[in-house]
Amino acid sequence: MLDIRFVRENPEIVKENIKKKFQDEKLPLVDEVIELDAQRRAAIAEADQLRSARNALSKKIGMLMGQAKKDPSKLEEVEAVKKEVTADAQRLEELEKLEAHLEEEVHKRMLVIPQIIDESVPLGPDDSCNVEVQRFGEAVVPDYPIPYHVDLMETFDGIDMDAAGRVSGNGFYYLLGDIARLHEAVLAYGRDFMIDKGFTYCIPPFMIHGNVVEGVMSQTDMDGMMYKIEGEDLYLIGTSEHSMIGRFIDQILPNEKLPQTLTSYSPCFRKEKGAHGIEERGVYRIHQFEKQEMIVVCKPEDSKAWYEKLWSFSVELFRNLDIPVRQLECCSGDLADLKVKSCDIEAWSPRQQKYFEVCSCSNLGDAQARRLRIRYKDENGKMQLCHTLNNTCVAPPRMLIALLENNLQADGTVKVPEVLWPYMGGTKVLTPKH
C-alpha cells in the first residue's frame, strides 16, 4: 500500500504506474482517493475547531455561572451558550462518523492501488512477456521416454490419487514409500541449506486472522487463494510467508536486529481456482502441499541486495539437486499489486522439454510493512518502515517432478542426488517396484 501523502503529491506518477501494470480500470481510484482524503482532512480540521471552541465555551459557561450569582439576568446568556455547546456536540458527532467513513473509503481504495514497481521491471500485460535472464546447468533431453510424473511415481508405488479423491476430492494425494521419503528429504535438505546460510529456522502458525491476510496480500489474491474457517476470524495460510510476516505486526524492531532472516516450514492450502491443463494436474497444482520458505525483513537500503541473494540461493539449491534451472524476470502485468520486483526460478522438464516454475522470489518494498505497521528507528531516531522479501526454498511435491525427471535413468531407476543421501538413510538409487 502506498503512502497517502505520496498519492496526494504525485498523482501522475501513481497513474503512470497503474498504466504500466495494464490496470487502467483502476485509474479513477487515484482521483477518488485524493478527493475523499481532502474531505476527510476538512472534516478533521472542522472537528478540531469545534473541540477547541468547546473548551472555550465551557470556560465561558463557568464564568457566566459565577456572574449569575450576582446578576440572575446572566442565566439567559448561560442557556444560550449551552445550546451552542449542544449544537456543536451534535455536529462534532456527525464529523467523527464522517471522518471514520471517509477513512474507511480511502483505505478500501488504497488497498487496490498497486505498489510502485521498480524501474528495472520489464513492461508487459501478462506472463507471456516475462523475460529470461539466464540459465544454469545443461537442459538435457534423454534418448529414452520419460513418463508423466504421476505414472513415474506409480512405478515406485509412491502415490495414490484415487484414494485421495475418495477421501478429499480432486487436488489431493497420498505419497507413499520411497517417494514420500524423498519428499521429506527434500524439505529437510532445504531447511539445513538455509540454516547454513545463516537463516533462523521457524515453524509458524498455520492459521491467521483476517487483518493479517489483508496486510500480506492483495484482495484479488486473497479471494483466489485463501480458505476461511467457518465461523472464525481465521484463514488457512497459502504460504508460511503470510504468518511469518504477520509475526511482526505493530512491532518496532530494534535497529541492531535488522535484517531478520528466517526460513520457515509449513503446509500450504490453496483454492487454486480455475481449470488447468494436463501438465498442471497430478501433483503440480494442488490444494495442499508443504514448503520451505525464505523471508527477510530489512532496512530499505538493503532490500535490493537481499533480492539478488535470495533468488541466487534457489539456483544453488536446485543445482545441488542436479536440476537445470533458469531465472525469469516477471513483467509488470504479472506482478501482484504489492510487489516491487519479482522473478521466477524455473526447473527444466525433460519430458515436456520446457521449463516450469518452482520458486518465486519477490521484493515487496514497504507495502506489507505499511499495512502491518512494521517499523524500526534509524540511526537518527526517526521511525522508518521496513522492507520485506520472500522466496520459495523448496515446495515439494511439485519440485519432485523436476527431481524425478532429471534424475531418471533408462532402466527406470532414479538417482538420488548426493546431497540427499544423508536424509534417505544412505539410499543412492530408487528402484521401481514394477
What is residue 413's three-state secondary structure? coil
Nearest Cα neighbor of 179 from 393, 347, 410, 396 is 396
Q: Which pLDDT score, from 0 to 100, does residue 275 have?
A: 45
Co-location of 199 and 348 in the same domain: yes
Within a domain: 209:
yes
What is residue 323's three-state secondary structure? coil
150 vs 283: CA distance, rounded Å: 8
Q: Which pLDDT score, from 0 to 100, does residue 82 have?
A: 63
Within a domain: 48:
yes
Co-location of 181 and 106 in the same domain: no
Within a domain: 269:
yes
Contact present, 400 and 152 (Cβ < 8 Å): no
Co-location of 143 and 259 in the same domain: yes
Co-location of 136 and 223 in the same domain: yes
Co-location of 83 and 145 in the same domain: no
Nearest Cα neighbor of 353 from 42, 206, 137, 139 is 139
pLDDT at position 183 over 50: yes
CATH of the domain at 16: 1.10.287.40
For range 122-130, the mean pLDDT: 96
Residue where a domain stops, chosen among 55, 75, 110: 110
Cell numbers representing residue 314 in the block: 534457489
Co-location of 162 and 100 in the same domain: no
Co-location of 198 and 309 in the same domain: yes
Co-location of 85 and 161 in the same domain: no
For range 91-95, the mean pLDDT: 83
Co-location of 97 and 150 in the same domain: no
Q: Which pLDDT score, from 0 to 100, does residue 278 have?
A: 47
Within a domain: 73:
yes
Co-location of 417 and 377 in the same domain: yes
200 HSE (CA, 13 A, CB side): 10
The more confidently predicted of residues 187 and 67 is 187
Q: Which pLDDT score, from 0 to 100, does residue 66 have?
A: 55
pLDDT classification of 76: cutoffs 50, 70, 90: low
Torsion sign over Cα 315, 319, 320, 323: positive
Q: Domains in the chain: how many in total?
A: 2
CATH of the domain at 242: 3.30.930.10
pLDDT classification of 53: cutoffs 50, 70, 90: confident
Q: Which pLDDT score, from 0 to 100, does residue 8 have?
A: 94
Residue where a domain stops, chosen among 110, 135, 161: 110
Global pTM reads: 0.88
What percent of the chain stands above pLDDT 70? Answer: 90
Contact present, 324 and 135 (Cβ < 8 Å): yes
Cell numbers representing residue 102 in the block: 471517509
For range 419-428, the mean pLDDT: 96
pLDDT at position 81 over 70: no
The more confidently predicted of residues 387 and 284 is 387
Q: Which pLDDT score, from 0 to 100, does residue 218 have?
A: 79
pLDDT classification of 74: cutoffs 50, 70, 90: low
For range 80-104, the mean pLDDT: 80
For range 271-290, the mean pLDDT: 71
Strand partners, 363: 341, 389
Taking only the tens place, the pLDDT of each residue in 340-361 is 999 999 999 999 999 999 999 9
Residue where a domain stops, chosen among 110, 135, 167: 110
pLDDT at position 93 over 70: yes
Q: Which pLDDT score, from 0 to 100, does residue 342 have?
A: 97
> Which domain, by its residues, includes 172?
127-430
Co-location of 37 and 85 in the same domain: yes
**Which DSSP letter does residue 262 get?**
E
For range 22-26, the mean pLDDT: 96
Q: Which residue has the cell 520458486?
A: 359
Within a domain: 321:
yes
Q: Which pLDDT score, from 0 to 100, does residue 54 have?
A: 67
Co-location of 299 and 255 in the same domain: yes
Q: Which pLDDT score, from 0 to 100, does residue 50 have?
A: 78
Q: Which pLDDT score, from 0 to 100, does residue 282 have?
A: 80
Strand partners, 326: 135, 346
386 vs 348: CA distance, rounded Å: 35
Within a domain: 244:
yes
The more confidently predicted of residues 217 and 374 is 374
pLDDT at position 35 over 90: yes
Within a domain: 122:
no
Q: In whole numbers, what is the pLDDT of the chain averaged over residues?
A: 91
Within a domain: 120:
no
The more confidently predicted of residues 333 and 59 is 333
For range 411-434, the mean pLDDT: 96
pLDDT classification of 58: cutoffs 50, 70, 90: low
